Amino acid sequence: MKLFLDTANIDEIKALAASGLIDGVTTNPSLIAKSGRDFLEVIAEICAIIDGPVSAEATASDAPTMLKEGEKLASIAKNVAVKVPLTEAGLLVCKQLSDNGVMVNVTLCFSAAQALLAAKAGAGFISPFVGRLDDIATDGMGLIEEITAIYANYDFPTEILVASVRGVQHVVDAALLGADVATVPPQIITAMFKHPLTDKGIEAFTADWKKSGQSIL
């Protein structure tokens, strides 16, 4: 499973990109607004750091304006994936952009029916928001299971990009269900490194090594 970083913080992206663990980045206008920087400049800078897909979101709600925004975003770099909402207008734009060779990430998916429509519209990625479903006592991972089954039935090439990830278990569950991608904030990547038994083991090994009086260097 690929891991995308859900942030617009350049320093965070650079630090984790160096690890080789990050396959792409997802952003949205809210994340970039927090940085106080120009939207288009931030997208261009991220695309120069990350070789994989970088999701940049159109902000218009009507199809003609959304299409123009999508075309402008796609012109920034070859690895831009234009994010459009799962609306009638969004899927119309998805079809037009994907027909022209532009990667499209259809976002704000909350049902398997929506995911089916996005795949038929040529979406490169579908982004189901599992955390937001869990928040309203709906099974977010149940949705991933449904989408995975439907896409397998018809061999859709659309990749399932699990979004609104709230913790490490969401990432593990997504991988177990066969999702293609999980997009996660930096703190969850950091949490994935950690386990108390790993820390305990390192402490024991370090103590034994010091007692030996040896040195590798």
129 DSSP 8-state letter: B
Spatial CB neighbours of 163, under 8 Å, sequence gap ≥ 6: 6, 26, 107, 127, 128, 129, 130, 131, 183
b/e per residue 31-70 (b: at least 16 CB within 10 A): bbeeeeeebeebbebbbeebebbbbbbbebeebeebbebb
- 9/204 Cα distance (integer angstroms): 36
Active site residues: 83
